Amino acid sequence: MYDTDELLESTEINGKELEYLLSERKIGRADFLLVDVREEYEYNQKRIVGVDYLIPLSDFFNKVQQIESCKSKHIIAKCKLGGRSAQAQMQLKRMGFKSVINLAGGISHYTGEKE
């Protein structure tokens, strides 16, 4: 199985690990924000159940203020394949966010619950 604390300290997780963390969050054993950085039309087509914020990379600097007060929280960034979320991860780190995790492979490699 997985170690929740270890996963939340990593810089990258895969779809199965995110699925595990979302189940842990549901029962109060994990605390993090799941941020989708895809465009709104992509988000409206299909999204992972449990996304807390939509902050499209194209409007990142305007929308990131929504989570400005969460700099000490664990943030998991996700997109379609992992490239845009990796860019968002770098930006958030530069902006002083302490723990930012990239979802490797994005929603494309996530087999958990979607809507």
Q: Mean pLDDT over residues 21-40, rounded?
A: 98
Residue 1 pLDDT > 90, yes or no?
no
pLDDT for res 83: 97
Residue 6 pLDDT > 90, yes or no?
yes
What are the pLDDT digits (tens) for 51-70? 999 999 999 999 999 999 99
pLDDT for res 106: 98
Confidence of residue 108 (pLDDT cuts 50, 70, 90): very high
Cβ atoms of 21 and 63 within 8 Å: the answer is no
- Domains belonging to the chain, first-starting first, are 4-109 (3.40.250.10)
d(CA 112, CA 115): 10
pLDDT for res 46: 96
Residue among 70, 75, 66 nearest 100 (CA): 75
Q: Mean pLDDT over residues 15-40, rounded?
A: 98
Residue 31 pLDDT > 90, yes or no?
yes
Confidence of residue 82 (pLDDT cuts 50, 70, 90): very high
Confidence of residue 20 (pLDDT cuts 50, 70, 90): very high
Q: Please state, in angstroms and as integers, the Cα–Cα distance from residue 78 to each residue in 1, 74, 82, 87, following that order.
A: 22, 13, 6, 10
